[in-house]
Structure 1
Amino acid sequence: MPRFAANLSMLFTELPFMERFGAAAAAGFKGVEYLFPYAFAKEDLAAGLARHGLVQVLHNLPAGNWEAGERGIACHPERVAEFRDGVARAIDYATALGCTQLNCLAGIAPAGVSAEVLRETFVANLRFAAAQLEEAGIRLLIEPINTYDIPGFYLNRTAQAAEILDAVGSANLFIQYDIYHAQRMEGELAATIARHLPRIAHIQLADNPGRHEPDSGEIHYPWLLRHIDGLGYEGWIGCEYKPATTTAEGLGWLQAY
């Protein structure tokens, strides 16, 4: 069955961040992911991983001012220099953490910028990042995100992501397929995953509605996870959901796997 990674930005949030590594390991997780590592010294994060025998599965490139509501800058034409600086910073952290894949958040489309310029900016930034990451032995991912949770998010459908991969033309660019976001935007999960599996390097999960644990909503996760396994997917599945109560109380779904 697939390997599950705890998303420490969403799980065990009752604990200080650095204590979440131990909680994830105690719960049976072998890997972790989270939004950003940059508020912490990379040496401290690496020590936390090593202490608890965890793999750093994924983190994001710098994504602008998150606290102010920004959700990525990769499609922002006036911030290309900032994006490129962020690529270098992300590589530095990922190398120290042994993290072999990084996600690039496209961002909310800025007002007054044409669709053509948005696309050109995003494609050019991805070409740059994919090349830089390839030299470091790190894969670059892009993630479609639903526009109900983040109105105006530029990249929001799987077919759009596949078209962007074609336009970039790099063998080092892949799709991060988030089941929750995909369910909200397009449904048709099983067929879409099967169609695009060669280009999917990472999967994340949560149920809908509420973005809670698997088996709490409308997605039939026992069947879907068997389907993903049967397709031959060998990557990690990140558990990026909001526990309905506490993380520990909501982990019953994981015991079946």
Structure 2
Amino acid sequence: MKRAEFLKNTLLAAGSAVSLNAFGEQSKQKKDMTVPSFNLDYAPHQGMFSASAGKNFIDEIKYMHDLGFKSIEDNGLSERSVAEQKAIGETLARLSMRMGVFVVPKGGNGANTLAAGKQEYIDIFLKGCKESVEIAKRVNAKWATVVPGDYQRELSIGVQTGNVIEALKRGAEIFEPHGITMVLEPLSDTPDLFLRHTDQTYEICKGVGSPSCKILYDIYHMQKNEGNIINKMNECWNEIAYIQIGDNPGRKEPTTGEINYKNVFKWLHNKGYKGVLGMEHGVSKSGKAGEETLLNAYKEVDNFLV
């Protein structure tokens, strides 16, 4: 063989070996970077991983995706600019992630209570419902949180319940054509609130009688107000459309309080729940160490399902 041809063949062979080695390394890296997956669909919110991902919400969403989360939730979505809402929606679509709940603007919270039956309050609520439809379109959201507002001591409970049902019927008429569900959230924040228990919320949903009016079952709030979590969820199951998480006391990640989230999640998994589980809680530790603790807690309670 001529020297020139020998050198040419030698270089080609070496190049092939380098290419194969590089391909092998790339394949190994790609395999090592396989996104982990959870058995249930947990949804973090902005700030939970900002120590690692930074303060930009879009960057944080991407980071959450890389950690294995398939959804997010954003209570304050309605307060963001239209441009930011669209950017969030485009990011979620590109990553095949879901948007969980956001709060209907002035959705009956506080003194602006639907229990009072006042037209001015109903008009504010319905305006918020209409705005929510447009917000939901930008991020492909399917759930919007509504809190009926404060209890009215000058009115009997039956009258207040009737007032809430009538207002929510009108809200449901706005959401139904768009496949969006109002999720009513009973809370433990103050005894002044009208809506505080699961069975009370169940009764209202039955009264509204719409697929666009269901229950948001917040495990943290309901542990404080009534306990008996699994039995209460089972009792009202056909009206529950969305679930939120938080341990008690402290409202931090699972494993930090008294709630046996391993059993609760196992029950939900066996029940066939495919909806979102909003991580509406704080983190027990700060910084990156806190983020690692948070992630490990979810891995621990989720691995119990297998």
Say yes or no: does 1:120 pair with 2:162: yes
User: Equivalent residue for 2:175?
Assistant: 133
User: Equivalent residue for 1:168?
Assistant: 208
Say yes or no: does 1:11 pair with 2:53: no
* Greater Cα radius of gyration, structure 1 or 2: 2
Alignment of structure 1 residues 17-166 onto 2, 5 Å? 18-19=57-58, 20-51=60-91, 53=95, 54-63=97-106, 70=110, 73-78=113-118, 79-110=121-152, 112-146=154-188, 149-166=189-206
The structure that is strand-richer by fraction is 1
The structure that is helix-richer by fraction is 2
Q: Scaled by the length of structure 2, what TM-score is found?
A: 0.74
Partners of 1:62 and 1:72 within 8 A in 2: no
The alpha-carbon distance between structure 1 residues 75 and 27, as it changes in their structure 2 partners (threshold 3 A), is: farther
Please, which of 258, 268, 280 is the counterpart of residue 218 of structure 1?
Answer: 258
For 1:12 and 1:50, how far apart are their aligned partners in 2? Answer: 20
Say yes or no: does 1:242 pair with 2:282: yes
**Worse-superposed segment, 207-216 or 167-176:** 167-176
For 1:64 and 1:192, how far apart are their aligned partners in 2? Answer: 25
For 1:161 and 1:73, how far apart are their aligned partners in 2? Answer: 15
Deviations along 1:61-112, one digit per CA (max 9) or x if unpaired, are 113698xxx3864334331111111110111101111001112111222564
For 1:118 and 1:170, how far apart are their aligned partners in 2? Answer: 19
Identity of aligned residues (%): 25
Deviations along 1:149-203, one digit per CA (max 9) or x if unpaired, are 2331111111101111122222332111111111111111111122222211111
For 2:157 and 2:228, how far apart are their aligned partners in 1? Answer: 27
User: Equivalent residue for 2:17?
Assistant: none
Deviations along 1:25-68, one digit per CA (max 9) or x if unpaired, are 343322111212122123322313433623212111113698xx
Aligned length: 251
Higher relative contact order (CA 8 A, sep 6+): 1
For residue 237 of structure 1, give the secondary structure of its aligned residue in structure 2.
strand
The alpha-carbon distance between structure 1 residues 88 and 64, as it changes in their structure 2 partners (threshold 3 A), is: closer
User: Runs of 5+ in structure 1 lacking a partner?
Assistant: none
For residue 109 of structure 1, give the secondary structure of its aligned residue in structure 2.
coil
User: Runs of 5+ in structure 2 lacking a partner?
Assistant: 1-38
Q: Displacement, 1:114?
A: 4.4
